[in-house]
């Protein structure tokens, strides 16, 4: 399917907000999307990547490096003149059966066999550099591959020490995972590494469903016209992201609000510092997206479920949903 415009996605406000926050501040650490099949998870993720403006890439760099980090690429040649091309923001769809070789990169078999040359062949991590790495059904992915991905996502660098190779290259990407908890749950330590999590549900309202059908049909029949129809709205979102990115560093988070966040995290029992940090970053990015002058309680309240719901310690006997617990705590603390 050709790209579906981001702004044409009906409903799913929470998922869209989480994706926008990740686009504004990639340090947030990825988004985990829970939901049934066919609810448009990958469509939204893909749409966001397609929306973003092209990035400058060093010509011939197989690792997608930006000009300012050219020297960090294994392909860097100090003697060559640096030239730059524009490339779309990468969106890499990591298939379920991916092996370590394909993810990390491996010895270039062709060169090794045909020329006796030891050269590194970049993997999916290199392709995802400065873009998005989308993993459908992450809960079915091999544990060791997931661990590896999270390591690289956290460090922003892929270090390969295998097959007689020693290579390091930058690999910064926004990790997007999707999964259906009914088909096997994620380990809590893995969940905690994701910055935000969203629960996607099929729209209940018939009107929304009809609207989705209409837009899908329109896109299928006249893709170009459909894209043109939404180009303005997409452009608006793009400008909003750009403004938010520049505003981000200037936005101060008042001390009192930091204290509020700490209290909230303690009240819901969100383990670890990662929760607080993510909550702060998400609130700031959210405020920046809204064009606010300062981060306020309402921004915290808006992103608290996104940033915390997957970090709550699970109580086997209490079946209350995490979201409800967070909302309850918010109501108690913020009134």
Partner 1 sequence: MTAPAPGEGDDPALALTLFVADPLRFGGIVLRGDGPIRDALIAAVTAALLESGPLVRVPANVDAERLLGGLDLAATLARGTRVMRPGLLDAATGGVVLLPMAERIAPDIAAHIAQAMDQGSIAAILLDDGREADAMPPAVLTDRCAFAADVGALRTVPDIGHPIPRQGAAVADVQRAALAVTAAALGVASVRALTLTERAACACAARADRSAVAEDDLAAAVRLVLAPRATRLPEAVPPAAEDEPPPPADPAEGEGQAPDEGVSPPADLLLEAAAAAIPPHILDQIERRVRGSGRTPAGRAGDRQRSAQRGRPLGARPGVPGQGRKLALIATLRAAAPWQQLRRSSAPDATGRVEVRKADLRVRHYEQRRGALTIFAVDASGSAALSRLAEAKGAVELMLAQAYVKRAEVALIAFRQAGAELLLPPTRSLTRARRALAALPGGGGTPLAAGLIAAQALGERAARAGQTPLVALLTDGKANVRRDGSAGRAEAMAEAAAAADAMARAGLASVVIDIAPRPTAEAAALAATLGARYVPLPRADSAALVAAVAG
Q: What is the 3-state secondary structure (H, E, C) of 90-141?
A: CEEEECCCCCHHHHHEEECHHHHHHHCCCCEEECHHHHHCCEEEEECCHHHC
Question: Nearest distance from residue 236's CB to partner 1, in Å?
Answer: 22
In the chain, the largest separation of any two C-alpha atoms, in whole Å, equals 70
In a 3-state reduction of DSSP, which class is residue 54? coil
Q: Is 117 in the site for partner 1 (CB under 8 A)?
A: no
Q: Tell me how far apart the alpha carbons of residues 186 and 189 are, in angstroms, rounded to a whole number.
A: 8
Q: Is 69 in the site for partner 1 (CB under 8 A)?
A: no
Q: Tell me how far apart the alpha carbons of residues 84 and 306 are, in angstroms, rounded to a whole number.
A: 37
> Interface with partner 1 by CB under 8 A: which range of 21-29, 97-105, 265-273, 290-298?
97-105
Q: Is 271 in the site for partner 1 (CB under 8 A)?
A: no
Q: Which of 69, 100, 157, 229 binds partner 1 (CB under 8 A)?
A: 100
Please give the DSSP secondary-structure letter assigned to residue 8. G
Q: Is 163 in the site for partner 1 (CB under 8 A)?
A: yes
Structure tokens at 89: 């923001």
Q: Is 184 in the site for partner 1 (CB under 8 A)?
A: yes
Long-range contacts of 103-107 (CB under 8 A, 24+ apart): 103/145, 103/148, 103/149, 104/148, 104/158, 104/160, 104/162, 105/158, 105/160, 105/167, 106/160, 106/162, 106/163, 106/165, 107/163, 107/164, 107/165
> Interface with partner 1 by CB under 8 A: which range of 13-21, 66-74, 103-111, 263-271?
103-111
Q: Which is nearer to partner 1, 199 or 276 (CB)?
A: 199
> Interface with partner 1 by CB under 8 A: which range of 38-46, 227-235, 238-246, 247-255?
38-46
**Interaction mask 130-159, partner 1, x per CB under 8 A:** ------xx-xx-xxx---------------
Which of 209, 274, 297, 328 is the catalytic position?
274
Which residues form the catalytic set? Answer: 274
Q: What are the residues binding partner 1 (CB under 8 A)?
A: 1-2, 36-40, 42, 93, 95-101, 107, 109-110, 112-116, 136-137, 139-140, 142-144, 163-164, 181-188, 201-207, 209-210, 212-214, 216-218, 220-221, 314, 316-317, 319
């Amino acid at each position: 399917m050709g790209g579906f415009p981001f702004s044409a996605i009906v409903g799913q406000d929470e998922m869209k907000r989480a994706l926008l926050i990740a686009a504004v501040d990639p340090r947030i650490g990825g988004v985990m999307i829970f939901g049934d099949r066919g609810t448009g998870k990958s469509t939204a993720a893909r749409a966001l990547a397609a929306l973003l403006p092209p990035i400058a890439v060093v010509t011939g760099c197989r690792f997608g490096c930006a000009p300012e980090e050219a020297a960090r690429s294994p392909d860097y040649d100090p003697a060559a003149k640096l030239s730059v091309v524009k490339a779309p923001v990468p969106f890499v769809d990591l298939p379920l059966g991916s092996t370590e070789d394909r993810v990390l990169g491996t010895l270039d078999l062709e060169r090794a066999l045909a020329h006796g040359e030891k050269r590194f062949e970049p993997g999916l991590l290199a392709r995802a550099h400065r873009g998005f790495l989308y993993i459908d059904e992450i809960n079915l992915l091999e544990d060791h591959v997931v661990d590896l991905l999270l390591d690289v996502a956290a460090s922003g660098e892929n270090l390969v020490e295998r097959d007689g190779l020693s290579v390091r290259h930058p690999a910064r990407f926004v990790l997007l995972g999707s999964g259906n908890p009914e088909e096997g749950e994620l380990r809590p330590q893995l969940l905690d590494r994701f910055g935000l999590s969203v629960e996607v549900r099929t729209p209940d309202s018939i009107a929304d469903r009809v609207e989705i059908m209409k837009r899908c049909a329109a896109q299928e029949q006249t893709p170009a016209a459909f894209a043109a129809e939404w180009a303005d709205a997409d452009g608006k979102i793009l400008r909003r992201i750009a403004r938010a990115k520049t505003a981000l560093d200037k936005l101060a988070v008042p001390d009192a609000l930091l204290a509020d966040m700490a209290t909230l995290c303690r009240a819901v029992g969100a383990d670890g510092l990662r929760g607080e940090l993510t909550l702060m970053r998400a609130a700031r990015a959210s405020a920046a997206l809204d064009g606010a002058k300062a981060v306020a309680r309402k921004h915290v309240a808006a992103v608290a479920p996104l940033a915390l719901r997957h970090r709550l310690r699970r109580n086997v006997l209490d079946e209350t949903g995490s979201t409800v617990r967070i909302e309850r705590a918010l109501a108690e603390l913020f009134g």
